[in-house]
Amino acid sequence: MSEFLLEIGSGELPYKEVLTFPRRLAESFKIFLANELGLNELDLNDNKNIEYYSTSRRVTLLVKNIPLKTEDKEIEIIGPPLKVCYLSDGSPAVPLIQFVKKNNIKNYKKIYAVSREKGEYAAYKTIIKGRNLEKILSENIPSIIKQPSFKKSMIWSDADIRYPRPILWILALFDGKIIQFNYGDCKAGNYSYILRKDSFSKSFIKIKDANDYIEKLKKAGIILDNLERKNFIKKGLINNSKKIECIFEDDDNLIDEIVGITESPHIIQGQFDKKFLHIPHELLSLVMKKHQRFFPLFAKDKSKLMPYFIGIANLTPDIYNNDLRDIRDNNISRGYSRVLAARLNDADFFYKEDTKQSINYFIDKTKEVIFYKGIGTYYEKTERIKQLAPYIFENIINKSNKKDTESINIKDKKIIERCASLLKFDLTTHVVYEFPELQGIIGRIYANKFEEDKIVSRAIEEHYYPIMKHGEKLMPADKFGDISAISDKLDTVLSFTMLNKLPTGESDPFAIRRAMIGVIEILLAKKYKLSLNKIFSFYFDNFYKDGNLNLLNLKDTFILFAKTRFKNIMSSLNYNFDEISSAIDDIFDDVYTSYLKIDFVAKNKLHEYMYDLTFVFKRLNNITFNYGDIVSFDGKKLILKEEILLMESYEFIKDESYRYIKSNNYYKLMNLYHEIVYPVNKFFDNVMVNVEDLDLKNSRIGFLNSILIELKNLCDFSKLSY
């Protein structure tokens, strides 16, 4: 069996491409080889014959155990219809003669008849000789490299090729022989490049085969495998932190970035002046991680940031004695410290300038910052939130609190109002202007410094929640953070609803989908009940009173937008489409109630009573399907005993259902609704609905529609799949 080695060398790739492109390239080659060689489609993770690697400068593909050539194939060639192939005397007709000539058939006896849908045809079998795989690869590699798409790509020559960075060399070997092809202005060869020792210049190396390639790169200190490189870096971070009795913050995003920008990682420890430790550690950490890709170090108990950091250099392997290696590392460390000091001086300046001002100064400056054209400034957004937050608080907290806590809630409302007033003040600070990732965090830090209530300070940061941090979803810690986050996000969604600018395609520059998802996630996590219809009415009654707005259309748009996000979340929780649709397609207002209803339907869909109700519901729906607009009825016209029995049952369940609906006790609601199964079946067995008396017919249809509407409080049974 043979092996195929491909390496694409280029300028330094974006780190995300380093982590994702090799797999896409391997997938393209796997499909190609499967088509050419008839190999079974296997998942790349289980296919040991296809290996892919990458560093910042190279993408490598190694295919093992492939045949030297493709197998001979017997193919069947279909000719003209049999009825036109022969003349009356049995001699070949023109269509058959042309078929024989075209396919170079030497013997007419090898032609036979085959049956197809449209009749019988002449056919002929021939053998296609297998081709050398090296030749096939030579012809197809350029087109395979072109297949994977990139988020951003470059054009650097006249050739019609794209790649994230200019391609500098291509290594392509089949059993040690060069595969001849050009990709743009680059000709494939049997060479690769590594960094020269103690230099940033590239050094040429000749490659014999795959084993020679791996061995030479390993000797040069290049770690080809991303996971191996990641583990090497993490181990180095742990060991070097321990040496100075510190710990590092395990930031997977930063480590992945370092993995993507290095191929010969080398740990460098550095330090900075202790005078900078008065700066909030969040700001210091961000400067180190974002601007320098350094790992800040903390005391073992995580109580404080230490004046040390670890950087990852991209260096050739250690070729010096210990003294010379220490000198090299110290030089690099001092260089890192000088560069970091300049950044920390900037951060120190911004922080000191900010803390000279009062919190009201920053609030006033939000009048100058436009949120979005047509919606106003951040100051105006804050003013809306100051009214919206107490209203949401009243509807969520007070209504869910059964005890009389009026005096406590007055105090809570004041805290909510203060939270709302300060949510956006930090957007006008120097620090957030320079480091926008710290919005909310700096708000908390400055609010504490300005001696605001700790609850208020925390809510300022947490109104951006939920967020993912280190693989964990963070939620606001208390009701004040909850209300602040919900209010801010709903203001964003509703204001863009007013402008008719809710996202419909992939583009969502203001993260409006994420805002709506955040609201839903908080409502579900904290089990809050909140009427979206009431919120919409309050919002537009108080903030956008333009008589030209079509509020009915806007409300439908808003509810549909929220429902779509909610459906996606429910699907991600493994609820089935029919369970979700049956519960919320007709009635969707309160997110948590909708979740409870879906959960009940999913767990009880196979219950005997649900079967019975589904059958009854469908009988009702079949009769009234074309008369959905008739919902009123004259009870005096319904005088048959089956009608009276059904009326009594309907009035009973209607009177009793309210308390079960209000308490979300859907199991008891199901039991209650089951009381109507027998009367409905008796009605259909003995009463004709479509009678000639139009008033009587409409009364019966309106009555049956009223029953359907009542049953939909549990779910739309017609949408359940069994």
Q: Which residues share a beta bridge with 239?
A: none
Backbone angles phi, psi at 510, to 5 degrees: -100, 10
Helices (H), 103-222: 133-146, 210-219
Calculate what percentage of the chain has a pLDDT beyond 70: 95
Residue 664, phi-psi category: left (phi > 0), alpha (psi -120 to 50), beta (remainder): left
Measured CA to CA, the distance from residue 518 to residue 488 in angstroms comes to 10
Backbone angles phi, psi at 148, to 5 degrees: -65, 140
Sign, CA torsion 502/507/510/514: positive
**Which of 252, 256, 316 lies closest to 17, judged by CA?**
256
Take residue 284 and report the two structure tokens written for it: 């210091």
Measured CA to CA, the distance from residue 195 to residue 562 in angstroms comes to 54
Residue 75 has a pLDDT of 84
Residue 172 DSSP SS3: strand
Backbone angles phi, psi at 363, to 5 degrees: -60, -45
Backbone angles phi, psi at 257, to 5 degrees: -65, -45
Residue 407 has a pLDDT of 47
Residue 7 has a pLDDT of 95
Element (H, E) at 204: strand 202-206
Measured CA to CA, the distance from residue 691 to residue 693 in angstroms comes to 6
**Residue range 655-699, pLDDT digits in tens:** 999 999 999 999 999 999 999 999 999 999 999 988 889 899 999
**Cα 347–352–353 angle (5° rounding)?**
100
Residue 555 DSSP SS3: helix
Residue 520 has a pLDDT of 97
Residue with tokens 């969604």: 493
Mean pLDDT of 160-165: 86
Q: Give the DSSP per-residue string, 339-355.
A: HHHHHHHHHHHHHHHHH
Determine which of 115-119, 256-260, 515-519 has the lowest per-residue pLDDT on average. 115-119
**Cα 580–584–589 angle (5° rounding)?**
140
Instruction: Answer whether 601's CB lies under 8 Å from 669's CB.
Output: no
Per-residue pLDDT at 325 exceeds 90:
no
Mean pLDDT of 525-534: 94
Residue 525 DSSP SS3: helix
3-state secondary structure 221-265: CCCCCHHHHHHHHHHHHHHHHHHCCEEECCCHHHHHHHHHHCCCE
Residue with tokens 């009542």: 710
Residue 93 DSSP SS3: coil
Q: 114: which residues sit within 8 A by CB, 6+ positions away?
A: 76, 78, 120, 121, 123
Take residue 44 and report the two structure tokens written for it: 């790349």
Q: Which residues share a beta bridge with 621?
A: none
Measured CA to CA, the distance from residue 125 to residue 117 in angstroms comes to 20
Which long-range contacts does 447-450 make (Cβ < 8 Å, 24+ apart)?
447/359, 447/422, 449/355, 450/358, 450/359
Residue type, 112: Y
**Residue range 472-510, pLDDT digits in tens:** 899 999 999 999 999 999 999 999 999 999 998 888 888
Measured CA to CA, the distance from residue 13 to residue 657 in angstroms comes to 63
Residue 43 has a pLDDT of 40
**Residue range 202-254, pLDDT digits in tens:** 678 999 999 999 999 998 889 999 999 999 999 999 999 999 999 998 888 89
Residue with tokens 């460098």: 268
Q: What is the CA radius of gyration of the chain?
A: 36
Take residue 120 and report the two structure tokens written for it: 């019988």
Residue type, 247: I
Measured CA to CA, the distance from residue 173 to residue 7 in angstroms comes to 9
Residue 399 has a pLDDT of 59
Take residue 104 and report the two structure tokens written for it: 């170079």
Measured CA to CA, the distance from residue 427 to residue 378 in angstroms comes to 9
Verify cis geometry, omega within 30 degrees of 0, for the bond prior to 466: yes
Q: 119: which residues sit within 8 A by CB, 6+ positions away?
A: 81, 82, 83
Mean pLDDT of 390-398: 84
- Whole-prediction pTM: 0.80
Backbone angles phi, psi at 555, to 5 degrees: -65, -45
Residue 44 has a pLDDT of 43
Residue 32 has a pLDDT of 84
**Residue range 548-574, pLDDT digits in tens:** 889 999 999 999 999 999 999 999 999
pLDDT-derived band at 41 (thresholds 50, 70, 90) equals very low
Instruction: Answer whether 182's CB lies under 8 Å from 158's CB.
Output: no
Measured CA to CA, the distance from residue 649 to residue 676 in angstroms comes to 6
What rounded mean pLDDT belongs to the chain?
A: 89
Per-residue pLDDT at 421 exceeds 70:
yes
Instruction: Answer whether 701's CB lies under 8 Å from 690's CB.
Output: no
Take residue 190 and report the two structure tokens written for it: 């049997």
Residue 198 has a pLDDT of 54
Residue type, 245: E
Residue type, 343: R
Residue type, 70: T
Per-residue pLDDT at 197 exceeds 90:
no
Instruction: Answer whether 237's CB lies under 8 Å from 246's CB.
Output: no
Is residue 368 classed exposed, middle or buried when 0-12, 13-18 and 19+ CB atoms within 10 A define those classes?
A: exposed
